[in-house]
Structure 1
Amino acid sequence: MGAQGSLADGLARSLARRSGLPVARAETHISWLLFCGPDAYKLKKPLKLTFLDFSTLALRQHFCEEELRLNRRLAPQLYLDVLPVTGPAEAPALGGTGPVIDHALHMRRFADDALWSTRLAQGRLTADDLTQLGERLSAFHGTAPRAAADGDHGQPADIAAATAKVLAPLLTWPHSAAQAQPLQAWLQAEEARLMPWWRRRLAEGFVREGHGDLHLGNVVQLPEGPTAFDCIEFDPALRWIDTLNDLAFLTMDLQVRGRSDLAFALLDGYLSHSGDWDGLTGLRYFEVYRALVRAMVAGLRQGQGGASADEPDYLGWALRHITPPAGGRGAPLLITHGLSGSGKSTWARALLQAAGAVRLRSDVERKRLFGLGPLDDSHAHGLDIYTAEATQRTFARLEDTARTLLQAGYPVIVDAAFLRRDQRERFAALAQALGSPWLILHCQAGPEELARRLAQRTATGQDPSEATAAVLKQQQGHAQGLDTDEARAAITVGECNAAGVAQVLQRWLEPH
């Protein structure tokens, strides 16, 4: 068992005597964990491995303190303190007065079924949970320290080297070589394409001190909402990464488990809050890299006889993820059309999850142009963001961003009223230029329902739209209906439901 096992045993006995409560124990390859009532304690094993060094008392104290500091950024309610462990290993005490023999990280315990990996398996994760986490992670990344452009982290050559290091064993193992070879060719081509982009991302401050290990097992559902925890403390290079590389671990983890709907709900929350549409240029590469990491770890476990029977097929997913759409078509484009309150955003949210699409929302992008957040009240800030010039700028931004996203291979939904014909025509031209399947989603609702929805939206204050009854009346007066050609490219919908979503997807995405 070793000295550390003896220390963990002794501390468990001490905790049980002091509290009168049972103590549960768990072990990872680098830590011991003790659970006693509402508390949890983590002891780092005195190890020196290729990727970490906990071999001395001073190093274990340092990394306990680093773990506390780093995780308090996202989960301050879980990470409480670093406590000295004193006394002999056979009868140690937490925070005692004798000689310090080790250190323990003190945490608040949470329920086992609060982990998102468990909640996903139980079917208890919702799109709202993912959207909320996406917004939280965007805020976290937005305030995280930035890497220097000439510093040690985020250099393009290092990104490619990290991928090559993970890919190397997969190319040699008999069970993975056939799948890894085409991935190698794709990764090398992507690296050549992305090198200038990686340099620009670093220069513009998108390499930040993130989490580094953002998978479903490191997200927890707390009473106040979801949050990530247990970030990487032992290797700065693994957490000083592009913000989309950080997020990619979680979007990959959801997709490989068959929940692309939740992955795109997460992405929608993150991008709506951050506006980092440019990050999608390299997201697919980062997701494939994360899948390779998981495949390598699974392969190592298989070699040690510890493979899990329900391990996802990471390499198979990665191969499907890099395969271009059949027929050489461009990524599909959909725009909404309808009065305020007609259900455009409800439909857009349902469709983005079902199709694995990215949504651009005019209400959000209009506010972003003026330095406002999605829920900020423009009137309270003394701004008039609804002038003809502001509308022109908004639609120009929507068109430019949609082009970037379509060229990156993502289906795009532009969520706007599109009441003017010239606004619709510029997106029809964009779809034609890129060879993108094209659909207008014409949303309708009765006058009473429109009024009810606008009143409800205003009362809750939880929607980016600032449309009022007066705005609705103005829209009704100047809206330009769909002409004959547009009507052929449109599908008319009412109340959003699963059958309607399936019908829209068939019309939009399937070849005709």
Structure 2
Amino acid sequence: MAKPSVTSTSHPSGALSLDELIDSLVVAHRSSADPLPFSGPSTCLASTRALVEEELGALVSRMHGEEDLAQLDRLREWLDQELVRLQACFAERREPRPSWAAGHPPTALRDNQRLVMLDALDLAPEDSLARRSLDPGFDVASLLVGLAIRGETRLANRALDGYLRLSGDYALIRLLSVFQVARSLSDARRALQRRPEAVEGEPLAHVADTMATSRRYLALAEKISAFRFPPLIIGVGVSGSGKSRFTANMVECLGAVRLCSDAERRRLYGIDPQGVGEEPPVDIYSDDATARTYQRLAGLAGTLLDAGFPTCVDATCLTRAQRKLLCQQAEARGLPVLIVSFEADDDTLKSRIVRRAQRQGTLPLASLEVLQRQQSVFEPFDGEERQQLVHLDTTATNATETLASLIQQRIYAG
């Protein structure tokens, strides 16, 4: 089936890469945040419910097929249940505000030199939906829906992972499916509204194409609302093992959200996760700081799993206690766990660390000392862990394909 066109009524004067767009969203959402969450009735819930009701009402008035109406009934029932179930989550959100798109000139989204969308969030600045006040997370939902409907699954996976890691707004994940379904409904309705009410003599092919586009968005909404059993994948490995590179690959391939210990460790102490070279005001690698970091990783893993998102932990996980703390998040929910041991010989580890230091313009001695310390405190896997364990030689030429195959066999096969 043909993908939606990238045509738009706007004429972009600039373009952003996906990483640049994510950076811009994070900055915009952070700078517009209120000092404290709103108390009392959730304006975020009210604005979301109003949008859902308007979109469903408009779709019901324009779609008369029995299957179409049954599908809309299923989506209405799911949304009604989620809006009730997630009331407490909505209450923690901040004041709704217009979309990022409303405050920026027409901006295209590109992947290298390839045009993905003429409007970065599939919203022109003058669009009424862009000017509507909604939770800032609706911008992320708009981006994900725009990419998903075009079959850009890897870009969508990368977008979500990057936004969460940089913003730290993991609470959004609990509401994201609702926002995505609401945006899908809006796009289904907008597709129908681009065609006036059927008139005599209108080409049947035009009518069929319009309905097909609308139904594609509704099918996406149902897919998003489907119940999922997400796995927890725990990466284990010392510095230079290739752990971060391979877990980044898992994000794009599996749609997993990655929890990076380095980012969360810095965030715990109010340090920008991207603040490369910043000198921390305190020792963020003390035993206490490490314990707090793993507690945070475990809590965030639970949040992501509850929301139905495959979760990948990128941390050294050197001790059994650290690994057990993480495993318990999935086990308590009856979800599958896979421990991946990322491995390489000593010469390769040291060579990678030296090359990384050269790229960063730093001396490798401190990093090599960290490696030696990590190797000395690593606790071998016990019998229980070995039941969930796979080993990956990251020096192998086919390591990426091997990891994908191992995950498929251990988690997704049957």
Q: For residues 79-137 of structure 1, give each alpha carbon's deviation from its aligned partner in whole angstroms, at most 9, with x where no partner exists.
A: xxxxxxxxxxxxxxxxxxxxxxxxxxxxxx45xxx6x8xxxxxxxxxxxx434432332
Higher relative contact order (CA 8 A, sep 6+): 2
Q: Is the 8 A contact 1:332 1:412 kept in 2?
A: yes
Q: For residues 203-257 of structure 1, give each alpha carbon's deviation from its aligned partner in whole angstroms, at most 9, with x where no partner exists.
A: xx5x34432579xx95344999999487535759835321211111011111222
Q: Is the 8 A contact 2:98 2:132 kept in 1?
A: yes
Task: Provide the residue aligned with 1:187 in structure 2.
Answer: 79
Q: Is the 8 A contact 2:29 2:136 kept in 1?
A: yes
Letter in 1 for 2:329: L
Letter in 2 for 1:157: A
2:376 counterpart of 1:477: yes
Which of the numbers 81, 91, 106 marks the counterpart of 1:199?
A: 91
From the superposition, tell whether residues 364 and 473 of structure 1 become closer, same or farther in structure 2 (CA, over 3 Å). same
Task: Provide the residue aligned with 2:23 in structure 1.
Answer: 135
- Paired with 2:8 and 2:400, the residues of 1 have a C-alpha distance of 44
Task: Provide the residue aligned with 1:367 in structure 2.
Answer: 266
Letter in 2 for 1:506: Q
2:245 counterpart of 1:346: yes
TM-score, length of structure 1 as denominator length: 0.67
Q: State the structure with more CA Rg.
A: 1
Task: Provide the residue aligned with 2:54 in structure 1.
Answer: 165
- Paired with 1:399 and 1:250, the residues of 2 have a C-alpha distance of 28
Task: Provide the residue aligned with 2:156 in structure 1.
Answer: 263
- Paired with 1:324 and 1:316, the residues of 2 have a C-alpha distance of 15
- The percent of aligned pairs where both chains have the same amino acid is 31
- Paired with 1:275 and 1:297, the residues of 2 have a C-alpha distance of 32
SS of alignment partner, residue 227 of structure 2: coil
- Paired with 1:462 and 1:242, the residues of 2 have a C-alpha distance of 41
From the superposition, tell whether residues 508 and 256 of structure 1 become closer, same or farther in structure 2 (CA, over 3 Å). farther
- Paired with 2:288 and 2:261, the residues of 1 have a C-alpha distance of 14
Letter in 2 for 1:459: Q
2:227 counterpart of 1:324: yes
Q: Is the 8 A contact 2:188 2:213 kept in 1?
A: no
- Displacement of 1:511 in angstroms is 4.7
- Displacement of 1:351 in angstroms is 0.8
2:329 counterpart of 1:427: no
Q: Is the 8 A contact 1:442 1:490 kept in 2?
A: yes
- Displacement of 1:354 in angstroms is 1.2
From the superposition, tell whether residues 140 and 467 of structure 1 become closer, same or farther in structure 2 (CA, over 3 Å). farther
Which of the numbers 89, 92, 100 marks the counterpart of 1:211?
A: 100
Letter in 2 for 1:135: D
Structure 2 counterparts to residues 1-400 of structure 1, below 5 A: 28=9, 109=13, 129-144=17-32, 146=34, 149=38, 154-172=43-61, 173-175=63-65, 176-202=68-94, 207-212=96-101, 218-221=107-110, 228=120, 232-233=125-126, 238-302=131-195, 303=197, 308=209, 311=213, 313-325=216-228, 330-377=229-276, 380-400=279-299
Which of the numbers 436, 439, 457 marks the counterpart of 2:356?
A: 457
Letter in 2 for 1:182: R
SS of alignment partner, residue 100 of structure 2: coil
Q: Is the 8 A contact 2:267 2:273 kept in 1?
A: yes
Decide which structure has greater strand share: 1
- Displacement of 1:289 in angstroms is 0.5
- Displacement of 1:395 in angstroms is 0.4
From the superposition, tell whether residues 220 and 234 of structure 1 become closer, same or farther in structure 2 (CA, over 3 Å). closer
Letter in 1 for 2:64: P
Q: Is the 8 A contact 2:251 2:258 kept in 1?
A: yes
Letter in 2 for 1:399: A
- Paired with 2:217 and 2:130, the residues of 1 have a C-alpha distance of 24
Q: Is the 8 A contact 2:41 2:91 kept in 1?
A: no
Q: For residues 258-313 of structure 1, give each alpha carbon's deviation from its aligned partner in whole angstroms, at most 9, with x where no partner exists.
A: 22221110111111111000010100000000100111111223546656478371
From the superposition, tell whether residues 476 and 498 of structure 1 become closer, same or farther in structure 2 (CA, over 3 Å). closer
Letter in 2 for 1:480: E
Letter in 2 for 1:247: V
Letter in 2 for 1:194: L
- Paired with 1:185 and 1:212, the residues of 2 have a C-alpha distance of 30
From the superposition, tell whether residues 221 and 260 of structure 1 become closer, same or farther in structure 2 (CA, over 3 Å). closer
SS of alignment partner, residue 434 of structure 1: coil
TM-score, length of structure 2 as denominator length: 0.82
- Paired with 2:151 and 2:218, the residues of 1 have a C-alpha distance of 14
RMSD: 3.5
- Paired with 2:405 and 2:42, the residues of 1 have a C-alpha distance of 47
Task: Provide the residue aligned with 2:315 in structure 1.
Answer: 416
From the superposition, tell whether residues 271 and 218 of structure 1 become closer, same or farther in structure 2 (CA, over 3 Å). same
State the aligned residue count: 383
SS of alignment partner, residue 86 of structure 2: helix
